[in-house]
Amino acid sequence: MKAIELKKITKKFGNTYANNKIDFSVQQGEIHCLLGENGAGKSTLVKIIFGLYQKDSGEIKINDQIVKLKGPADAIARKVGMIHQHFMLVDSLTITENIIAGAEPSSKGFINYREAERKVRDLSEQYNLQVKVDSLVGEISVGEQQRVEILKALYRNAEILILDEPTAVLTPQETKELFNVLEQLKKSGKTIIFITHKLKETMQVADRVSVLRDGKKVGTVETSQTNPAELARMMVGREVLLKVNRTQNNPGEKVLEISNLNYKNKKSGLSLEDINFSIQAGEILGIAGVEGNGQLELEEVIAGLRSFQQGNIELNSKIINNFSVKERRKNGLAHIPSDRLKRGLIQNFNLANNLVLGSEWDSPYAYYSILNYNEINKFKDEIVKEFDLRYTKNNSIAGELSGGNQQKLIIGRELSRETNFILAAQPTRGVDVGAIEYIHKLLIEMRNNGKAILLISAELDELRSLSDHLLVIYEGKIVARGSTDKFTEEELGLLMAGHYQQGGENV
Amino acid sequence: MSKYKNILNSILAIIFALFVGAVLIKISGHSVKEAYYYLFYGAFGTSYNFAQTLLMTTPLIFTGLAVAIGFQSGLFNIGGEGQLYWGAFVTAIIAIKFTLLPGYLLIFIALLGGALAGGLWAAFPGYLKAKTGAHEVITTIMFNYIGILATTFLLKRYFKADGPVDQTVMLTKKARLPELITNTRLTWAIIIGIIVVFLVDQLLKRTAIGFDLKVVGENIFAAEYAGIKTGKYTILAMIISGAVAGLAGGTIVLGVLHRFITNFSPGYGFTGIAVAVLGRNKPWGVLLAAFLFGALEAGGMAMQLFADIPSDLMEIVQGLVILFVAAPAIFEIIFPVIKKNRGVESNV
Amino acid sequence: MSEIIEVIFSINTFTAAIRMATPIAMAAIGGVFSERSGIINIGLEGMILTGAFAAVVGSFFTGSPWLGLLAAILAGSLLGLLFAFFTIKFKADHVVAGVGLNILALGITTWLMQVVWGQKGASPEVNGLPEITLPILNKIPILGDLLAFHSPIVYIMFVTVFLSWLLLFKTSLGLRIRMTGEHPEAADTLGINVYFMQYFSVTLSGALAGMGGAYLSLGQLSWFSSNMSAGRGYMALAANIFGQWNPIGAFAASFLFSFSDAVQMRLQGINLNLASELIQMIPYLLTVIVLAGAVVKSKPPAALGEHYEVGK
């Protein structure tokens, strides 16, 4: 029996097809991977299945019945559950409240909390998904939050589970645990649709794979009949260079040195403790770690966006502890921020204004505060050409660009200034494969030209292929360091999950 | 494209608001035709009436611009009224106390003092916003009450002229703004207003200060990232905004009242919000919107006088204009319907 | 000096503070509902004013202040619904639309007052709501003096504080409203009707603010005067923030503001060598100080002020 069957599903946003006549079916009881690059249309497709988006045309069948889904409530009623890429959880509510909302056990409108907690506890035992029912969601780990998400679906008796990029935030070990849970769910008869852009995971977990590219379906194959190279070709449409060409480097002078840095985030309670490292010219230092272990704090402390309590940051032989953001930038800092939409650009500004951001007081773009738009536009044309920025209209605003082009805009702006230290945080997050390749090449080029680069990334493959040295960060502490080739992926995973020897540093 | 859409939306908002106004006039048993005839006549019917419209326009240019500057920096300055009172009060005191100065210099310094006073009064809520995050909407409203009470207190205690009314003495002739057209009360104030519009437009478009103000308004996180001191610019935006509102008070004192009187403003500071919203927070847009509202005010008075329709109707129109302009989606929702009903014509 | 302290801590001052807190607290609780569902409600001021006006109109035409109260609730709800329509359906900026609504309400009430009664400034006197003496409680000293001799709306206010707290924190509906304000998309994915929660909450806030207005015109007085809300809606919004978006906190904050106002009014009664303008500033200054101190620690609903689109 087919749990889900889609025929010729089409969905347009503006003038672009997110989904273009997609046929897609999932057998009951299988784990089916939906594979594709960022922007291939995977999320849109499953949001249509879950009733979050309305299809423009096409037909949806659930358990062989044609259905019309006006909202998630209709999908939930047909026992479809979804675990979203960005968790749909409210930090200020408890785990139980997050799970039961919308289907609360209650009498006369009043919630029966005891009954609710009992139900949640039973479910968590039945599927081996450990959670503390009365904790606030804002205070639990990412792994636990994901378990809450799965429980939300199970609480609503979901038989078909959709997981949208569930591994993006997990360590390799947590991923393994998730896969065990999925196997168990499959055994109890559930159908699972698993969205990912990672080939390795697909091969590990799926019975069948459907590949999307540019809003169209490329094909469906049995996992046992295919291999990663073939999947990659289907996904990208051409041969992909999965390896970056990184030659031996010649490190030069010390550019950045951080010693005994201590910082406490008063809001989240997370601390950076005794951070020590240095980067030389012509070196890429990677920071590995599960998201939320202090990477953002480290990034923003170095960039001057947060003030820290103790220690020294030395950039180009100057202590910059009390330097403002502006002074740091003058002293050689280029910053590619991890959250490009929040920090990196102004969505309503056009390209020229976004490119001059941060240099708007400097010659030749301004003369005593009076802006010189001739120079600014000339600069824009240069960057557009040099970094191959693609945009549709002549006066496009940054919000209209694709993720890859937004990132190129930021990188172009930062690298065009006279700097020798690049703070690159999540430089390839949410951009397509073509842009990833381009950005990787660019970073290597910068390194070979003698810049010092601090690479903070959640992508282990990226870190391993670009970095000369790696640091592993866990709960705000550096728990291991060494040259990249000394770590296996397995070891890195364990270190990121906090399995390290107390007392001494590993490797 | 979107620029024309904005202008279209603004025009539609006015038409809608006047239409609702017409319905209200009808319900209250008056003739819509007569009412709107006098509205138009009062605004543009004679050269005196037109001068009256420009006279009403003048303070709204300043207060509208003040709100617009705030909006451009992401701040909603509802405190125009309090800033206007401080501007008026300090302008009046300077004009009364420094009569030894030559005329033009006296006017200049008096207005400058008024602008400074308005700016300083606005700096407080700006400071609170920057340091504690206290929402400027509520603090500026409270500062309106406090500012009006404070100027009344100072007037009564130190500067009150003899007589039953709480007001200062009259200004000497040389401290008054010269008339622009003789035998109207229209003065050079409106020219000052247009100059200020030009200056603010240039500030926002062509200077790094204006650039940074807009960055803070658009995305405060990106502003921090780019090394802009966001707190400083929040306060600066409020100071500039308050200074312009202060000029509204100053020019009324030097141009129209020729003294400071308590409770003289019929709510210019609040009408400025409608003006700014209608003008899309663009300086030249504000000028146009102020002119429109000036016409409504002048016309509304004629309407009350000749057609016996309360001029508060114009307040209703203002409120509706704000609502309609704030909700552009309203026209997107309505217009497909209109298109459908028209059928073939929609291709034109 | 002792005279001042006597004035401040007299039972009369406290009783007056309870009375004066009533319209602010009603509107503030309205603000709590609205903001918990994610809609910033600056329009409370206009809703109070409209309620006050409708109450007098209702009482004038029917002769019954109770029907006047009903008219206030209806008018407030309607205005709330209108506001919800603009902010939710038409995606208007909440703050701008709220200010527009306030100007509109001021215009309409002043205009209608002239259309209905031909008078500018104030309406003719109508039947106000009678004071009700609570049995048993009135026998208890002090507490009885404070609580037992009030307009029915004061009692309604106390009940509203308690019921609103129950509704928000103990019922399914309350959980759904809170989730909507924190994370509308999460609510949506759980099959919760986000729009219903917002329309319901904003309409309810209008009804509550309207009732607060009715207290001004039929409880404290028995006529309507132009702009008689006099900034209480804004104070209510500040009370809602200071009260941490909780009905009980909102009442406490409203009481604090009103207490300072009551002190201010009573201080004007005794002959201090202090200008009345300075004394009148006290409640406004207090609002600013409290707001500046409170927001440092407070956490508004996470999706406050945003627009959420169901089913793209």
Helices (H), chain B: 2-27, 32-40, 47-72, 80-97, 103-132, 136-154, 189-206, 208-218, 220-225, 230-252, 268-278, 283-307, 313-326, 329-342
Most distant CA pair in chain C: distance in Å?
67
For residue A412, give the H/E element and its range.
helix A403-415
Spatial distance between the Cα atoms of C112 and B25, rounded to a whole number of angstroms: 11
Q: Is the per-residue pLDDT at C287 higher than 90?
A: no
- Inside any domain, residue B132: yes
Provide the terminal-to-terminal Cα distance of chain B, rounded to the nearest Å: 18
Whether C179 sits inside 8 A of A103 (CB atoms) is: no
Number of independent structural domains in chain B: 1
Nearest chain C alpha carbon to B333 = C90
* The pair of three-digit structure tokens given for residue C283, joined into one six-digit string: 């409640």
Q: Which CATH architecture has domain A254-346+420-506?
A: 3-Layer(aba) Sandwich (3.40)
Query: If DSSP codes are grouped into helix, strand and coil, which group holds residue B179?
Result: strand
Q: In this predicted model, what pLDDT tens digit does every residue of C99-118 receive, in sequence order?
A: 899 999 999 999 999 989 98
Digitized pLDDT (tens) for each residue of chain B, 348 residues in all = 467 778 888 888 999 999 999 999 998 888 999 999 999 999 999 999 999 999 999 999 999 999 999 999 999 999 999 999 999 999 999 999 999 999 899 999 999 999 999 999 999 999 999 999 888 888 998 999 999 999 999 999 999 999 999 999 999 999 999 998 888 889 999 999 999 999 999 999 999 999 999 999 999 999 999 999 999 999 999 999 999 999 999 999 999 999 999 999 988 998 898 899 889 999 999 999 999 999 999 999 999 999 888 888 988 998 999 899 988 777 777 766 443 333 333 222
CA neighbor of C128 nearest in space, from C150, C146, C161? C150
Domain coordinates of chain A in residue numbers?
A: 2-236, 254-346+420-506
Name residue C50's amino acid: T
Q: How near does any CA of chain C get to the CA of A343, in Å? A: 19
Q: What are phi and psi of C253, to 5 degrees?
A: -65, -40
Spatial distance between the Cα atoms of C103 and B278, rounded to a whole number of angstroms: 14
Q: What does B78-123 look like in DSSP terms, one character per residue?
A: -THHHHHHHHHHHHHHHHHH-TTS-HHHHHHHHHHHHHHHHHHHHH
Q: What is the pLDDT of residue A392?
A: 72
Task: Give B-chain residues touching A353 at CB under 8 angstroms.
Answer: 211
Q: What is the pLDDT of residue A12?
A: 87
Spatial distance between the Cα atoms of A22 and A36, rounded to a whole number of angstroms: 13
Digitized pLDDT (tens) for each residue of chain A, 507 residues in all = 899 999 999 998 877 788 999 999 999 999 999 998 877 888 899 999 999 999 999 999 999 999 999 999 999 999 999 998 888 999 999 999 999 999 999 999 999 999 999 999 999 999 888 899 999 998 888 788 999 999 999 999 999 999 998 887 777 778 888 999 999 999 999 999 999 888 888 888 999 999 998 889 999 999 999 888 888 888 877 665 556 677 777 888 999 999 999 998 876 678 899 999 999 999 999 999 887 789 999 999 999 999 999 999 999 999 999 999 999 999 999 999 998 888 999 999 999 999 999 999 998 999 989 999 999 999 999 999 998 888 877 778 898 887 888 999 999 999 988 899 999 999 988 787 778 888 999 999 999 999 999 999 988 888 999 999 999 999 899 999 999 989 888 888 888 878 776 544 444
Question: Positive or negative, the Cα torsion across A228, A229, A235, A241?
Answer: positive
CA neighbor of B211 nearest in space, from B198, B226, B197? B226
This model of the complex carries an ipTM of 0.89
- Which of C44, C96, C289 would best serve as a mutation to test chain B binding (most B beta carbons within 10 A)? C96
Spatial distance between the Cα atoms of C82 and A179, rounded to a whole number of angstroms: 50
* The pair of three-digit structure tokens given for residue A149, joined into one six-digit string: 């998400």
Whether B138 sits inside 8 A of C291 (CB atoms) is: yes
Task: Give A-chain residues touching C182 at CB under 8 angstroms.
Answer: 90-93
A2-236 CATH: 3.40.50.300
Q: What are phi and psi of A333, to 5 degrees?
A: -85, 130
Q: In this predicted model, what pLDDT tens digit does every residue of B223-249 receive, in sequence order?
A: 999 999 999 999 999 999 999 999 999
Residue with tokens 């959250």: A339
Spatial distance between the Cα atoms of C198 and B217, rounded to a whole number of angstroms: 27
In this structure, of B48-62, C69-83, C276-290, the range with the lowest mean pLDDT score is: C276-290
* The pair of three-digit structure tokens given for residue A213, joined into one six-digit string: 């590219």
Question: pTM for the whole thing?
Answer: 0.87
Q: What are phi and psi of A14, to 5 degrees?
A: 65, -120
* The pair of three-digit structure tokens given for residue B284, joined into one six-digit string: 């030249």
Question: How many CB atoms within 10 Å of residue A176?
Answer: 13
Task: Give C-chain residues touching B320 at CB under 8 angstroms.
Answer: 100, 104
Spatial distance between the Cα atoms of A286 and A277, rounded to a whole number of angstroms: 11
Residues 143-162 of A with CB under 8 A from C: 152
Q: Which CATH architecture has domain C2-126+135-294?
A: Orthogonal Bundle (1.10)
- Average pLDDT of chain C, as a whole number: 91
- Inside any domain, residue B119: yes
CA neighbor of B293 nearest in space, from B270, B314, B266? B314
Q: What is the pLDDT of residue B331?
A: 77
Whether A324 sits inside 8 A of B229 (CB atoms) is: yes
A138 touches chain C (CB under 8 A): no
Q: What is the pLDDT of residue B19?
A: 94
Q: What are phi and psi of A402, to 5 degrees?
A: -70, 165
Task: Give B-chain residues touching C309 at CB under 8 angstroms.
Answer: none
Domain hosting residue B219, numbered range: 54-289
* The pair of three-digit structure tokens given for residue C104, joined into one six-digit string: 């509109």
Under a CB-based contact definition with an 8 Å cutoff, are residues B111 and B254 in contact?
Answer: yes
Task: Give A-chain residues touching C186 at CB under 8 angstroms.
Answer: 88-90, 98
Residues 253-292 of C with CB under 8 A from B: 275, 277-278, 280-281, 284-285, 287-288, 291-292
C36 touches chain A (CB under 8 A): no
Which residue in A76, A90, A106 is closest to C179 by CB distance? A90
Torsion angle of C-alpha atoms B287, B289, B292, B297, degrees rounded to 10: -100
- Inside any domain, residue B28: no
CA neighbor of A355 nearest in space, from A369, A341, A365? A365
- Inside any domain, residue B9: no
DSSP A331: T
Task: Give A-chain residues touching C297 at CB under 8 angstroms.
Answer: none
Whether B138 sits inside 8 A of C234 (CB atoms) is: yes
* Residues in Cβ contact with C44 at an 8 Å cutoff, skipping those fewer than 6 apart: C27, C30, C31, C98, C205, C209, C233, C234, C236, C237
Cβ pairs B/C, distance under 8 A: 146
Q: What is the pLDDT of residue B237?
A: 97
Residue C261 bridge partners (DSSP) = none
Distance of CA C57 to the CA centre of its chain: 20
Crossing angle of the two packed helices C152-170 and C11-36, in degrees rounded to 10: 40
A367 touches chain B (CB under 8 A): no
CA neighbor of C92 nearest in space, from B236, B243, B330, A89? B330
Q: Where are the beta strands (DSSP E) in A14-101?
A: 16-27, 31-35, 57-62, 65-67, 80-83
* Local confidence band at C312 (pLDDT 50, 70, 90 cut-offs): low
Nearest chain A alpha carbon to C188 = A72
* For residue B310, cis peptide bond before it (omega within 30 degrees of 0): no
Q: What is the pLDDT of residue A291?
A: 79
* For residue A72, cis peptide bond before it (omega within 30 degrees of 0): no
Q: What is the pLDDT of residue B345?
A: 30
- Chain A: list its partners (3+ Cβ pairs within 8 Å): B, C
Spatial distance between the Cα atoms of A440 and A448, rounded to a whole number of angstroms: 12
Cβ pairs A/B, distance under 8 A: 60
Contacts 24+ apart (CB under 8 A), C272-281: C272/C4, C275/B153, C275/B156, C275/B157, C277/B149, C277/B150, C277/B152, C277/B153, C277/B156, C278/B149, C278/B153, C280/B149, C281/B145, C281/B146, C281/B149, C281/B150
Q: What is the pLDDT of residue B342?
A: 34
Question: How many CB atoms within 10 Å of residue A432?
Answer: 20
Residues 148-187 of C with CB under 8 A from A: 170-173, 175-176, 178-179, 182-183, 185-187
Task: Give A-chain residues touching B226 at CB under 8 angstroms.
Answer: 325, 357-358
Q: Is A490 exposed, middle or buried (0-12, 13-18, 19+ CB in 10 A)?
A: exposed
> How do beta strands A191-196 and A106-107 pair?
unpaired
Query: If DSSP codes are grouped into helix, strand and coil, which group holds residue A431?
Result: coil
Task: Give C-chain residues touching A90 at CB under 8 angstroms.
Answer: 178-179, 182-183, 186, 302
Q: What are phi and psi of A324, to 5 degrees?
A: -75, 170
* Residues in Cβ contact with A101 at an 8 Å cutoff, skipping those fewer than 6 apart: A93, C175, C176, C179, C187, C190, C192
Whether B319 sits inside 8 A of C231 (CB atoms) is: no
